[in-house]
Amino acid sequence: MSRQPPGAVEALSRERHALCVAVALLLCLTWSSGCAFVRGQVGEEFNEQDVQAIQKGVTTRAEVAARLGAPDEIVQAAGREIFHYRRYDSKLGYLLVISRLNIKSDNLFVFFDRNGVVDEVVFGKRTDRLEFQVWPFGD
């Protein structure tokens, strides 16, 4: 039978204890990041009645601004003025180190002719189809 030198058992016990403390600390740090589900929105939701009230060839620039407020952006293109209104909706799912961010937007473009009368209205609504998706690898 082999005999261990004096104090070897105590040294081995201290090493095991230090290893257990290190592993426990590592697990605590790993799991402390936790999880979160966050939703953020920028801009006002579009009122469908306000969008439908904009009539081509009838509604003026001042009437659009009075109904919808100031546009987020005014673009000059080919002698025409374009009011761009937008709304963003985002959702973030975070679990430990795995996360997924989804962003969708609603966009309203109102094109005016040279006289300041609505020439075209383009509206795209996609924020109503935004889902929480935590899994970061594909759909």
Q: Which H or E run contains 44? A: none
Structure tokens at 100: 């997924």
Domain ranges of the chain: 1-32, 34-129
Q: What is the pLDDT of residues 96-132, one digit of tens each?
A: 667 777 788 889 999 999 999 999 999 988 767 666 5
- Domain range 34-129, CATH class: alpha beta
Q: What is the pLDDT of residues 2-26, one digit of tens each?
A: 565 655 556 667 778 788 888 888 7
State the pTM of this model: 0.65
Tell me the H-state helices in 1-139.
8-32, 48-52, 61-68
Q: Could you give the CA distance from residue 58 to residue 117 in angstroms, rounded to a whole number?
A: 6
Q: Could you give the CA distance from residue 87 to residue 39 in angstroms, rounded to a whole number?
A: 14
Cβ atoms 72, 46 nearer than 8 A: no
Q: What is the pLDDT of residues 41-91, one digit of tens each?
A: 888 888 889 999 999 999 999 999 999 999 999 999 888 899 999 998 888
